[in-house]
Each structure stands twice: as structure tokens, then as C-alpha cells.
Amino acid sequence: MKTKMKLEDKVGLVILIVGISFILVYPYYQWANLGEIRYAIGILKDVRGARSGWQPIFQYDVNENSFEKTGTSQYIVTPKNVKKSLGKRYYIMFNNSNPYYATILLDYPVPDSIQNPPPFGWDSIPGVGELENPLIWRGGKSPPIKKK
């Protein structure tokens, strides 16, 4: 015997699906609405295991505010090379409107010749340039450099 769902149950199910979808999509929405992308210097503090690989934990400063974040899984971070990478400086790509939204670019270490970034970061990576399509980038290798 078939049972019909009540209207209230259907509405509740739709609200539940929309809510879960929002929770899953919102982090990507933040990256899609970055506005101006800036670059700063971050320090790789630690690495933790995740289902999809190893996630870097990094710390960076923007406009006298300090942030500590867990990044997306990256191919560069493995238990084998983690000890030599901890404490090293890498470029951070962040949202100028909300610097909390950031990612570490582990294939762009900061040379010793560069000491401190400006308070609001750089508009491109010093000596490297701007990255192509950074809005769609999520883990793995950093996007390629824009050709002029």
C-alpha cells in the first residue's frame, strides 16, 4: 500500500535539502566572490591527515590581524616531506574584502630576500606575477602565471 507524504513533510524535506546544499556550496561561493585577490606571506605550522590527503595548517598576517587556517589537501604535503617544510614561508592568496578566506601556495616558497609584505599584501606575487583563474583553484598545484 502506497503512503502519500503530507504537504508539511514535503516542505520540510525541501528545506532540509536546501539547507544541506547551502552548507556544502557556501565555501565555494566565498571563493567565487573574492573580488580583489591579494598575496601575503604565511608560515606552514603543521599538517594533519584528511580523507583526501594531507591538509596544511598555516598562519599569516594581514593589516595587523593574525589568521590561522587549515588549507585544502595538497599534493605537495606528505608525511615524507613535512618535516623539511614546517616553519617555512610560502605565499598566501587571500580575499581582500575578507582576509580570512585564504589558501597557501605551497609551490611558491618565499625567498629569503623578501622579508615582510605590505600591511594589505601585494597585488601579485613579487618576482612571479599574478596567477591565472585563481577563483576556480581548489588544492593541488597552484594555477599558472598570467602571461602578459
Q: What DSSP string describes 55-114?
A: EEEEEEEETTEEEEEE----TT--TTTHHHHTT-EEEEEEESS-TTSEEEEEEEEPPTT-
Q: Could you tell me which residues come within 8 angstroms of residue 38 by beta carbon, excluding any fewer than 6 positions away? A: 62, 93, 94, 95, 96, 99, 120, 121, 122, 123
Q: Please report the pLDDT score of residue 136 as a whole number.
A: 40
pLDDT band, residue 28 (cuts 50/70/90) = low
**Residue 128 exposed, middle or buried by CB count within 10 Å (0-12, 13-18, 19+):** middle
Specify the higher pLDDT residue, 83 or 8. Answer: 8
d(CA 139, CA 73): 6
Domain 36-136 has CATH 2.40.50: yes
Domain ranges within the chain, ordered by starting residue = 36-136
pTM, two decimal places: 0.69
The DSSP H or E segment spanning 10 is helix 7-32
pLDDT of the residue at 54: 75
Give me the pLDDT at residue 1, please. Answer: 53
Q: Give the model confidence (pLDDT) of 50-101 as tens digits.
A: 776 778 889 999 988 999 988 776 666 666 666 678 899 999 988 888 888 8
pLDDT (average), residues 136-147: 55
Identify the pLDDT of residue 58.
92
Q: Where residue 144 falls among pLDDT bands split at 50, 70, 90?
A: low
